[in-house]
Amino acid sequence: MTKVIGPLDYAIPDNMDVQIGSIVEVPLGPRKLFGVVWDNDSPDENPIPDSKLRPIISVLDIEPLNKALRDLVDWTAHYYLCSRASVLRMVLPPSAAFNSAVSITEYRSTDIVPERMTPKRLQALDAIQGQQGLIRELALKADVSDAVIRGLVKTGALEPIEVSIDNSFDPPNPEHHKPQLSADQTKAAEQLITATKAQKFESIMLDGVTGSGKTETFFEAVATCIKMGKQCLVLLPEIALTQPFLKRFEERFGSTPASWHSGMKQSERRRTWRAVNNGDASILIGARSALYLPYKNLGLIIVDEAHEASFKQEEGVRYHARDVAVVRAMQEDIPVILSSATPALETRYMAEIGRYTAIEMASRYGGAHLPEIETIDLTQDVPERGQWIAPSLIKAIEDNIERGEQSLMFLNRRGYAPLTLCRTCGHRIQCPNCTSWMVEHRLVKRLACHHCGHVMPPPKACEECEEEDTLVACGPGVERINDEVKMLFPEARTFVATSDTLYSPAKAAEFVAKVENDEIDIIIGTQLVTKGYHFPNLTLVGIIDADLGLEGGDLRAAERTFQQISQASGRAGRAAKKGHVYIQTRAPSAPVLQALVNGDRDDFYAAETLSRKHASAPPFGRFAAIIISSEDEGEAASIARLIAQTAPNQEGMLVFGPAPAPLAMLRGRHRQRLLIQARRQVALQDIVRVWLESLEWPRSVRVAVDVDPYSFL
- In the complex with Zn ion, which residue's Cβ is closer, 7 or 660? 660
Closest CA to 152 of 173, 171, 131: 131
Q: What is the pattern of x (binds ligand ADP, CB under 6 A) and - over residues 194-213?
A: --------------x-xxxx
Report the relative pairing of strands 494-497 and 283-286 from DSSP bridges.
unpaired
Site for Zn ion in 442-461 (CB under 5 A): 449, 451-452, 454
Please, where are the H alpha helices in 306-407? 321-332, 345-352, 391-402
- Only segment of 45-53, 214-222, 617-625, 630-638 that touches ligand ADP (CB under 6 A): 214-222
For the bound state, the minimum distance from the C-beta of residue 56 to Zn ion, rounded and expressed in Å, comes to: 45
216 binds ligand ADP (CB under 6 A): yes
- CA separation for the pair 397, 406 (Å, rounded): 9
Question: Could you say which of ligand ADP, Zn ion, none residue 182 binds, taking C-beta under 5 to 8 angstroms by partner kind?
Answer: ligand ADP
- In the complex with ligand ADP, which residue's Cβ is closer, 477 or 570? 570
Number of residues interacting with ligand ADP: please give it, by CB under 6 A: 15
Residue 316 — left, alpha, or beta (φ > 0 → left; ψ -120 to 50 → alpha)?
left
Q: How many CB atoms lie within 10 A of CB 499?
A: 14
- In the complex with ligand ADP, which residue's Cβ is closer, 212 or 494? 212
- In the complex with Zn ion, which residue's Cβ is closer, 264 or 452? 452
Q: What residue number has its CB nearest to ligand ADP?
A: 213
438 binds Zn ion (CB under 5 A): no
Longest dimension (CA), the chain: 85
What residues contact 654, with CB distance under 8 A and at least 6 apart?
A: 676, 677, 678
- Give backbone dihedrals phi and psi of 580, rounded to 5 degrees, phi first: -130, 140
Site for Zn ion in 391-430 (CB under 5 A): none
Measured at the alpha carbon of residue 250, what is the angle toward residues 293 and 513, in degrees to the nearest 5? 110
For the bound state, the minimum distance from the C-beta of residue 263 to ligand ADP, rounded and expressed in Å, comes to: 23
Binning the chain into helix, strand and coil, the percentages to the nearest 5 are 35, 25, 40
**Angle between helical axes of 67-79 and 321-332 (0-180°, round to 10):** 140
- Only segment of 164-172, 179-187, 460-468, 634-642 that touches ligand ADP (CB under 6 A): 179-187
434 binds Zn ion (CB under 5 A): yes
- CA separation for the pair 137, 119 (Å, rounded): 19
For the bound state, the minimum distance from the C-beta of residue 625 to ligand ADP, rounded and expressed in Å, comes to: 33
- CA separation for the pair 36, 277 (Å, rounded): 15
Contact 136, 142 (CB under 8 A): no
Question: Could you say which of ligand ADP, Zn ion, none residue 452 binds, taking C-beta under 5 to 8 angstroms by partner kind?
Answer: Zn ion
- CA separation for the pair 479, 498 (Å, rounded): 10
For the bound state, the minimum distance from the C-beta of residue 210 to ligand ADP, rounded and expressed in Å, comes to: 5
- In the complex with Zn ion, which residue's Cβ is closer, 449 or 565? 449
433 binds Zn ion (CB under 5 A): yes
Contact 393, 379 (CB under 8 A): no
For the bound state, the minimum distance from the C-beta of residue 529 to ligand ADP, rounded and expressed in Å, comes to: 14
Identity of residue 541: V
Question: Could you say which of ligand ADP, Zn ion, none residue 246 binds, taking C-beta under 5 to 8 angstroms by partner kind?
Answer: none
- CA separation for the pair 448, 68 (Å, rounded): 43
Question: Could you say which of ligand ADP, Zn ion, none residue 451 binds, taking C-beta under 5 to 8 angstroms by partner kind?
Answer: Zn ion
For the bound state, the minimum distance from the C-beta of residue 180 to ligand ADP, rounded and expressed in Å, comes to: 6
Question: Could you say which of Zn ion, ligand ADP, none residue 433 binds, taking C-beta under 5 to 8 angstroms by partner kind?
Answer: Zn ion
For the bound state, the minimum distance from the C-beta of residue 569 to Zn ion, rounded and expressed in Å, comes to: 33
Q: Is 700 helix (H, G, I), strand (E, B) or coil?
A: coil
- Only segment of 78-86, 159-167, 180-188, 285-293 that touches ligand ADP (CB under 6 A): 180-188
Closest CA to 100 of 265, 269, 295, 274: 274
- In the complex with ligand ADP, which residue's Cβ is closer, 365 or 410? 365
- CA separation for the pair 211, 466 (Å, rounded): 54
566 binds ligand ADP (CB under 6 A): no
Among 169, 365, 388, 416, binds ligand ADP (CB under 6 A): 365
Closest CA to 563 of 531, 589, 535: 531
For the bound state, the minimum distance from the C-beta of residue 191 to ligand ADP, rounded and expressed in Å, comes to: 16
Site for ligand ADP in 530-549 (CB under 6 A): 534
- Only segment of 165-173, 175-183, 612-620, 642-650 that touches ligand ADP (CB under 6 A): 175-183
Residues that bind ligand ADP in the complex, under the rule CB under 6 A: 179-182, 185, 208, 210-216, 365, 534
Residues that bind Zn ion in the complex, under the rule CB under 5 A: 431, 433-434, 449, 451-452, 454
